[in-house]
């Protein structure tokens, strides 16, 4: 039975590598907006930092592991926001590191509504530890038997709209498709649609539904989630990733500046009978910026 599980896992794992890895994805996507849309960098009047760690498919060796660091801030002197995003994604023998700087030009439509245009510029490094791969035919000329690593410039573009209740945007990542001349090392262009809305249910309770759709040349996927925030002190919610997982989320706010969130993915795909699910932890901090007065805004702004 164990051998069958290992074979099943390897088929799923290396089939993902064969078609090239998609962008990293997180259940806490509402806390990592500028990862997929540079137009949302520094959209608040706070200095924000977010760290997310994700462990997929518990119970399997070499299961995917992903880490993300986002830092963003707004500056009037440049009429917009800046951001830094660094992600590390380990998928079996494949590793992808993506680091980028972002600038978002903010255009105030009126006192409440803002339109922004963002550009992300950075690098992407993909590496394959081919020496760990075993093939039925080790003499196959197409077999990846050596270690390989490639570094390439990377570009993103996005448009965002936001106010105190809404955050939305459309964007594309890896505009030039990165390492497109190599099959295993290719980085396909991705497209994103994102929408989040804050509903004030009472003086202390807010309901925040959100949806994100992502598409590349290999797959189209969307997430839908809804969280309830109580007095900006704690939250809990549910999420569904189409064809992949059902998710539970919860978190707390400390001193109106620090947030700690946790989510658990229950697999709904091919591994649902074998995987121990996926775990994700998010830590966020928000500090007043140059224009801010008082405490930072709600976690979901």
Residue 7: C-alpha distances to residues 39, 58, 92, 220, 270 (Å): 42, 16, 14, 26, 13
Mean pLDDT of 108-127: 95
Flag whether 129 is in a domain. Answer: yes
d(Cα 6, Cα 278) in Å, to the nearest integer? Answer: 18
Instruction: Report the run of H or E that residue 18 belongs to, with start and end.
Output: helix 2-18
Which pLDDT score, from 0 to 100, does residue 74 have? Answer: 93
**202 φ, ψ to 5°?**
-160, -175
Q: How far is CA 19 from the centre of its chain?
A: 20
**215 φ, ψ to 5°?**
-145, 135
Flag whether 225 is in a domain. Answer: yes
| pLDDT exceeds cutoff 60 at 241 | yes
∠ at Cα 217 (214, 218), nearest 5°? 85
> Two tokens at 79?
């009429």
Instruction: Report the run of H or E that residue 213 belongs to, with start and end.
Output: strand 205-215
Flag whether 117 is in a domain. Answer: yes
Lowest-confidence segment of 7-11, 31-35, 289-293 by average pLDDT: 7-11
Flag whether 216 is in a domain. Answer: yes
Which pLDDT score, from 0 to 100, does residue 181 have? Answer: 58
| pLDDT exceeds cutoff 90 at 59 | no
What CATH number did the domain enclosing 196 receive?
Answer: 2.40.160.40
Average pLDDT value over all residues in the chain: 84
Instruction: Report the run of H or E that residue 149 belongs to, with start and end.
Output: strand 147-162
User: What single DSSP character describes residue 43?
Assistant: -
Which pLDDT score, from 0 to 100, does residue 118 have? Answer: 98
| pLDDT exceeds cutoff 70 at 119 | yes
Flag whether 72 is in a domain. Answer: yes
Q: Would you state the torsion angle of the CA atoms of residues 53, 94, 220, 226, taken in this order, to the nearest 10 degrees?
A: -10
Instruction: State how many domains the chain has.
Output: 1
Helices and strands (H, E) in the chain, number of each type: 2, 15
Which pLDDT score, from 0 to 100, does residue 285 have? Answer: 96
d(Cα 247, Cα 204) in Å, to the nearest integer? Answer: 24
Mean pLDDT of 83-102: 94
Flag whether 18 is in a domain. Answer: yes
User: In this predicted model, what pLDDT tens digit does every residue of 185-220 receive, in sequence order?
Assistant: 678 899 999 999 999 999 999 999 999 999 987 789
d(Cα 216, Cα 229) in Å, to the nearest integer? Answer: 33
Mean pLDDT of 21-41: 91
Which pLDDT score, from 0 to 100, does residue 201 have? Answer: 94
Q: Any idea which residue has 């059902």 for tokens?
A: 246
Which pLDDT score, from 0 to 100, does residue 130 have? Answer: 65
Flag whether 301 is in a domain. Answer: no
Which residue segment(s) compose the domain that 131 sits in?
A: 2-288
pTM of the model: 0.85
d(Cα 227, Cα 223) in Å, to the nearest integer? Answer: 13
| pLDDT exceeds cutoff 50 at 18 | no
Flag whether 299 is in a domain. Answer: no
Instruction: Give the range with max mean pLDDT: 58-62, 186-190, 280-284.
Output: 280-284
d(Cα 209, Cα 93) in Å, to the nearest integer? Answer: 36
| pLDDT exceeds cutoff 50 at 299 | no
Length of the chain as a residue count: 301
Which pLDDT score, from 0 to 100, does residue 4 have? Answer: 41
């Amino acid at each position: 039975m164990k051998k069958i599980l290992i074979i099943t896992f390897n088929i799923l794992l290396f089939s993902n590598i064969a078609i090239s890895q998609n962008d990293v994805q997180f259940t806490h996507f509402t806390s990592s907006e500028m990862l997929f849309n540079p137009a949302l960098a520094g959209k608040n009047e706070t200095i924000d930092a977010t760290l997310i760690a994700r462990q997929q498919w518990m119970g399997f060796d070499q299961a995917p592991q992903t880490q993300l660091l986002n830092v963003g801030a707004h500056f009037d002197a440049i009429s917009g926001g800046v951001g830094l995003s660094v992600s590390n994604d380990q998928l079996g023998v494949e590793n992808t590191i993506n680091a980028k700087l972002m600038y978002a030009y903010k255009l105030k439509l009126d006192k409440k509504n803002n339109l922004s245009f963002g550009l992300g510029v950075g690098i992407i490094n993909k590496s394959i530890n081919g020496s760990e791969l075993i093939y039925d035919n080790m003499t196959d000329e197409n077999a990846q038997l050596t270690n390989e690593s490639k570094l390439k410039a990377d570009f993103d573009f996005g448009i965002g709209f936001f106010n105190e209740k809404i955050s939305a945007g459309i964007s594309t990542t890896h505009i030039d498709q990165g390492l497109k001349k190599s099959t295993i090392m290719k980085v396909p262009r991705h497209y994103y649609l994102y929408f989040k809305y804050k509903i004030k249910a009472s003086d202390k309770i807010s309901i925040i539904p959100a949806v994100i759709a992502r598409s590349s040349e290999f797959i189209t996927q969307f997430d839908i989630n809804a969280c309830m925030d109580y007095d900006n002190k704690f939250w809990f919610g549910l999420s569904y990733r189409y064809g992949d997982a059902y998710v539970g989320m919860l978190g707390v706010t400390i001193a109106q500046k620090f947030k700690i969130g946790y989510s658990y993915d229950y697999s709904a795909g091919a591994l649902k009978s074998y995987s121990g699910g996926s775990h994700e932890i998010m830590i966020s901090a928000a500090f007043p910026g140059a224009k801010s007065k008082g405490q930072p805004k709600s976690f979901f702004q």
